[in-house]
Amino acid sequence: MNDAVDYYIEGDPVADTKAPAGPIDKKWSERQFTARLVNPSNRRKMTVIIVGTGLAGGAGAASLGEAGYNVLNFCYQDSPRRAHSIAAQGGINAAKNYRNDNDSVYRLFYDTVKGGDYRARETNVHRLAEVSANIIDQCVAQGVPFAREYGGLLDNRSFGGVQVQRTFYARGQTGQQLLIGAYQALERQVAAGTVKMHTRHEMLELIVADGRARGIVTRNMVNGKIETWYADAVVLATGGYGNLFFLSTNAMGCNVTANWRAHRKGAYFANPCYTQIHPTCIPVHGDTQSKLTLMSESLRNDGRIWVPKKAEDCDKDPRQIAEEDRDYYLERIYPAFGNLVPRDIASRQAKNMCDEGRGVGPAVTEVGQDGVERQVRRGVYLDFADAISRLGKDGVAARYGNLFDMYLQITGEDPYELPMRIYPAVHYTMGGLWVDYDLQSSIPGLYVAGEANFSDHGANRLGASALMQGLADGYFVLPNTVNDYLADAPFEKIDDSHPAAQEALASVKGRIDKLLSIKGTRTVDSYHKELGQIMWEYCGMERTAEGLKKAIGLIRDLKAEYWENVLVTGVNEDFNQSLERAGRVADFFELGELMCIDALHRRESCGGHFRAESQTEDGEALRHDDEFLYVAAWEFGSGGKPVLHKESLIYESIELKQRSYK
């Protein structure tokens, strides 16, 4: 039975029309050939707005500027170099086969589709694998200091559970180095005058005129000025929406507002329920926690995960707990894989242990599914005592020294002495705005790149793939597809007198005025935290129909209360961080509801989406390819109910298999 039918309307199917027919490895070159071109001398007559300056936005702005278009680039931070791509640690995959270990474009393509639990679009993923090698070349040419061996050539490591060594890295700061590379390329274009950079500007509305995305409305975060910007095409490279959960590994400013405003203007939002929850993060220390920090997954190679067998041992010094009183639960439940089970399983079991009352570390206040407030310890031990006795302290330090230092800095506990405490945290969102092969959304002229779109990772993202996708979209895809649309440009000039602009401006001003005028009693953050708790509880690592329906009710109630009782200080015409957050949280409410509806309607488990009702006897995720082999592209429902457009996933090059780790 479909529990969700009351919550949405089913619309017509949707399909990608841009990927050409033919063999999968010829599609991208074929598309590059068939895409219409814009004469270099005409490009300077065309304007492209790019929102976001991360790997996708920064690389896209630099490349389109270099191609000769007028680019207007926006970010909410004080500099384009701050975008959260900078925080990625592990590395970036590329099918270079430098290690001579059977890697190939096809294998990277295959691993990515399989890792995504067969919920990604084949054509887009294959192109990603194809351009992956060019990305490394491009970045090296820009001076990105990848790790090298003594022979002077690039080093590789294996990452994210794949069996080949294809990950390029720059110590634990790969994201930073790649982003700085893109940032420098971007600043070169700013200096050349092709890109106009607008920092501390937040996009609050999309202007869709005569059926085309033609501009945006921004708020200048320094003085509150509401401005319109017009262009022939708009690119959103605005990242993921993991911050909906309040606590996540995202930056504090990450938000969904640009994407959500576009969604309300007609862009479909695809697979919003696919969120990746990473098992090895530093746990929550208390109610005032503002964000979670990821510890590299590689720690599970040598650390053993356990909790006490008895709940009364949970506040003891772990060193005082006898071996027979410890429950190495992953080794117990999954004897074959032990501590190296996939991310989703490791995460879910940690949650189960803590739900049973056997978590460790400081207790945090939570409101359970029964509505009762209680104190729960959210953490499990990741113990290196065995590794230290086997490898010696120096041996462990050589492998994990920087991670141990980081842990010590944040928790004040020395992991050489005490076991680390870890807990899963929201890390990445595979869902995003729906795009076709050209990365164009369902609104003509609106392109979406990077984590902001849904296209490449299906229901789960493999390690070291996010950086690859961001740069692929920015450097190589957009500059070869946007031109097909701009071949019809420049479009008729519009200005603030256009009804679409008037409407967008009025909507922005109306919302700001409303938020400032409520003057209630609760702070924005308190609502955000409560929303995050609801989402984490009901739409987190494990989802049930009953829980999701409850969550939808709770979110609706909380949203209604928010618009009655939120307290936003200050005025618009000022640097006002409280107002910035208020607008973002307002959009998170709406997205949260859609996420729950999407999760409710997908009565299967796949990748990061685990429905308790759909599991094998061993507790593994159980897909239902017969019913759910599609992308759920949601249209904003003006009548209150979202409209579901299904895009069937057609697997021509890869055979569908049930994921198995036995």
Partner 1 sequence: MNITLRIWRQPNAEAQGRMVTYQVADVSPDMSFLEMLDMLNEDLTVKGEEPVAFDHDCREGICGMCGVVINGVAHGPSVTTTCQLHMRSFSDGAVIDVEPWRAEPFPVIKDLVVDRTAFDRIIQAGGYISAPTGTAPDAHAAPIAKKNADRAFDAATCIGCGACVAACPNGSAMLFTSAKIVHLAMLPQGQPERHLRVKGMIAQHEAEGFGNCTNIGECAAVCPKQIPLDVISQMNRDLISSLFKRDGK
Active-site residue set: 343
Residue 11 · residue 638 · CB < 8 Å: no
Is 285 a residue that touches partner 1 (CB under 8 A)?
Answer: yes
Residue 477 · residue 449 · CB < 8 Å: yes
**Which of 291/511 has CB closer to partner 1?**
291
Place of tokens 């959009």: 587
**Which of 161/520 has CB closer to partner 1?**
520
Give me the least distance between CB of 39 and partner 1, in Å please: 18
Query: Binders of partner 1 among 448-467, rule CB under 8 A?
Result: none
Give me the least distance between CB of 140 and partner 1, in Å please: 4
What is the strand order of the sheet 9-10 is part of? 9-10, 643-648, 630-635, 269-270, 432-433
Is 261 a residue that touches partner 1 (CB under 8 A)?
Answer: no
Distance of CA 432 to the CA centre of its chain: 8
Residue 128 · residue 105 · CB < 8 Å: no
**Which of 59/128 has CB closer to partner 1?**
59
Burial class (CB in 10 A: 0-12, 13-18, 19+), 544: middle
The single residue among 41, 100, 288, 320 that binds partner 1, judged by CB under 8 A, is 288
Residue 442 · residue 633 · CB < 8 Å: yes
At 304 the three-state DSSP class reads strand
**Which of 88/270 has CB closer to partner 1?**
88
Query: Looking at the DSSP assignment, which residues form a beta bridge with residue 209?
Result: 212
The single residue among 79, 502, 616, 658 that binds partner 1, judged by CB under 8 A, is 79
**Which of 475/634 has CB closer to partner 1?**
475
Query: Binders of partner 1 among 11-40, rule CB under 8 A?
Result: none
Is 170 a residue that touches partner 1 (CB under 8 A)?
Answer: yes
Residue 231 · residue 47 · CB < 8 Å: yes
Give me the least distance between CB of 198 and partner 1, in Å please: 11
Is 410 a residue that touches partner 1 (CB under 8 A)?
Answer: yes
Is 412 a residue that touches partner 1 (CB under 8 A)?
Answer: yes
DSSP single-letter state for residue 493: P
- Among 280-288, 427-435, 442-450, 596-604, the segment contacting partner 1 (CB under 8 A): 280-288
Give the whole-angstrom CA distance, residue 454 versus residue 433. Answer: 6
Compute φ and ψ for 157, nearest 5 degrees. Answer: -140, 165
Is 241 a residue that touches partner 1 (CB under 8 A)?
Answer: no
The single residue among 27, 31, 81, 214 that binds partner 1, judged by CB under 8 A, is 81
- Among 10-18, 227-235, 248-256, 391-399, the segment contacting partner 1 (CB under 8 A): 248-256
Give me the least distance between CB of 11 and partner 1, in Å please: 38
Is 526 a residue that touches partner 1 (CB under 8 A)?
Answer: yes
The single residue among 3, 30, 187, 546 that binds partner 1, judged by CB under 8 A, is 187
Query: Binders of partner 1 among 575-634, rule CB under 8 A?
Result: 575, 577-578
Is 105 a residue that touches partner 1 (CB under 8 A)?
Answer: no
Is 420 a residue that touches partner 1 (CB under 8 A)?
Answer: no
Is 398 a residue that touches partner 1 (CB under 8 A)?
Answer: no
Query: Binders of partner 1 among 481-500, rule CB under 8 A?
Result: none
The single residue among 476, 562, 588, 634 that binds partner 1, judged by CB under 8 A, is 476
Structure tokens, 41: 């001398």
Q: Give the total of residues touching partner 1 (CB under 8 A).
A: 83
DSSP single-letter state for residue 245: G
The single residue among 190, 340, 558, 612 that binds partner 1, judged by CB under 8 A, is 190
Binding mask 123-142 for partner 1 (x = CB under 8 A): -----------x-xxxxxxx
Give the whole-angstrom CA distance, residue 131 versus residue 116. Answer: 19
Is 82 a residue that touches partner 1 (CB under 8 A)?
Answer: yes
Angle, alpha carbons 341-343-346 (nearest 5°): 60
CA distances from 375 to 228, 355, 364 (A): 48, 11, 5
Is 171 a residue that touches partner 1 (CB under 8 A)?
Answer: yes
Give the whole-angstrom CA distance, residue 213 versus residue 205. Answer: 11
**Which of 129/629 has CB closer to partner 1?**
129
The 3-class SS string of 154-212 reads ECCECCCCCCCCCEECCCCCHHHHHHHHHHHHHHHHHHHCCEEEECCEEEEEEEEECCE
